[in-house]
Amino acid sequence: MSVIDILTRVDAICKKYDKYDVDKLNASNVSGDDAFARLYASIESDIDSAIQKAERACQEKNRAAAVALNAEIRRTKARLSEEIPKLQRLALKKVKGLSKEELAIRNDLVLALPDRIQSIPDGSTNGAKQTGSWTSASHMEIRFDSTSDGMFESEYFQQTEESSQFRQEYEMRKMKQDQGLDIISEGLDTLKNMAHDMNEELDRQVPLMDEIDSKVDKATSDLKNTNVRLKDTVNQCFEEMRCRGNRYLDSSSSLYCICISWVQDILRSYSVAAHSLYYCICNLNGNHGWLACYRECDVCALIIYLDVFLWLFIVTNLDVTYLLAETGPCMKAFAILQNHVGCY
């Protein structure tokens, strides 16, 4: 037989023969007759169970379970504290079979009970310090468990000392946050004002932009028209000159030679003038080479050449081949002008 078997058998036997246990019977009988004794016994057993629960709560790892146990203990304590006046009344009653000393003892026992009940640890002394004051506060408000405020205050005095520091810290942090939020709000106010002003400014500029848009469109179309006409004119001139040039290839009178030389001098001076203008413009544009300058739409200087050319053509009916030979740049300019105009 194992130990367990022995134990169970012994238990079974004891239970069977409990009714023959005189002491126990006496004890239960005594408490059965005496209301005081009964109540006292029940209170004692409650206190014991509460103490056991308190011990379990101390060891409990799970905070929620610990809190629940502590709450139960507190309820028990409150209930027991409420029953104490009843017990006191019963204690003063005279019961048969009880000596005077025993009555006095009962009174003392009753008086000792409240202290014993309060001394049961219910987690508020050791447990969560942060919630200490909270629980005291909540207990202050939800009154159904407590009987007197004084007892709680004395019990929780320690918490307020520790938690007052925390409260201070909390207040400090709140103040700092408020300061920070004030600064942020100031910044946001400024931003909002600037945004509103920007909004109004943009609204103001929208119709101006529309005006600019339409005017520039008009200018662009005018420019395109002008360029097309210029291109036509230049092409025409070119064609005419080529025709005229072929026609005069055979004639070479002295008068013509004189005219040509005279005109060439003038042309050279114009050419020099135009070249210097180009060089100036080139320097301004930072380019080197007048040909590059032509490409940069210096229509004004090109038109000088064109003017000269047309003047020559109209006034003197020159032998254009000589002209072509002598004024290479002029033709180049012409061609480039054509190209430039042609791109429109």
Partner 1 sequence: MATPDPDKLMAKADKLTKLSFTRWTADWKNATSLYEQAAIGYRFRKDNEKAKEAFEKASKGQEMISSPWDAAKHMESAAALAKEVGHWNEVSDFYKRASELYSECGRSQPASDALAKGASALEDVVPDEAIQLYTDACVILEEDGREQMAFDLYRAATSVYVKLERYADAATFLLRWGIAADKCHAVNSQCKAYLSAIIIYLYMHDFQQAQKCYNDCSQIGAFLSSDQSRCASKLFSAYEEGDVEEIKRVAQSSPITHLDHVIIRLARKLPTGDLKELNKEEAKEEVLDENDLT
Residues forming contacts to partner 1 in the complex (CB under 8 A) are 186, 189-190, 193, 196-197, 199-200, 203-204, 207
Strand ranges (E), 124-233: none
CB of 213 to partner 1, least distance (A): 17
Given the complex with partner 1, which of 23 and 201 has the nearer CB atom? 201
Given the complex with partner 1, which of 104 and 183 has the nearer CB atom? 183
Helices (H) and strands (E) in the chain, counts: 12, 0
Given the complex with partner 1, which of 161 and 178 has the nearer CB atom? 178
Given the complex with partner 1, which of 23 and 203 has the nearer CB atom? 203
- 206's tokens: 């929208």
Interacting residues of 312 by C-beta distance below 8 A, sequence separation 6+: 263, 267, 318, 323
Whether the Cβ atoms of residue 139 and residue 124 lie closer than 8 Å to each other = no
Given the complex with partner 1, which of 130 and 190 has the nearer CB atom? 190
CB of 207 to partner 1, least distance (A): 8
Given the complex with partner 1, which of 197 and 307 has the nearer CB atom? 197
CB of 76 to partner 1, least distance (A): 56
Given the complex with partner 1, which of 82 and 178 has the nearer CB atom? 178
**Alpha-helical regions (H) of 93-148:** 100-119, 130-141
CB of 292 to partner 1, least distance (A): 30
CB of 206 to partner 1, least distance (A): 10
Question: How far apart (Å, rounded) are the C-alpha atoms in residues 55 and 194?
Answer: 66
Burial 206-226 (b: 16+ CB within 10 A, else e): eeeeeeeeeeeeeeeeeeeee
Whether the Cβ atoms of residue 267 and residue 312 lie closer than 8 Å to each other = yes
Question: How far apart (Å, rounded) are the C-alpha atoms in residues 306 and 312?
Answer: 10
Question: How far apart (Å, rounded) are the C-alpha atoms in residues 132 and 140?
Answer: 12
CB of 231 to partner 1, least distance (A): 31
CB of 122 to partner 1, least distance (A): 51
Question: How far apart (Å, rounded) are the C-alpha atoms in residues 320 and 317?
Answer: 8
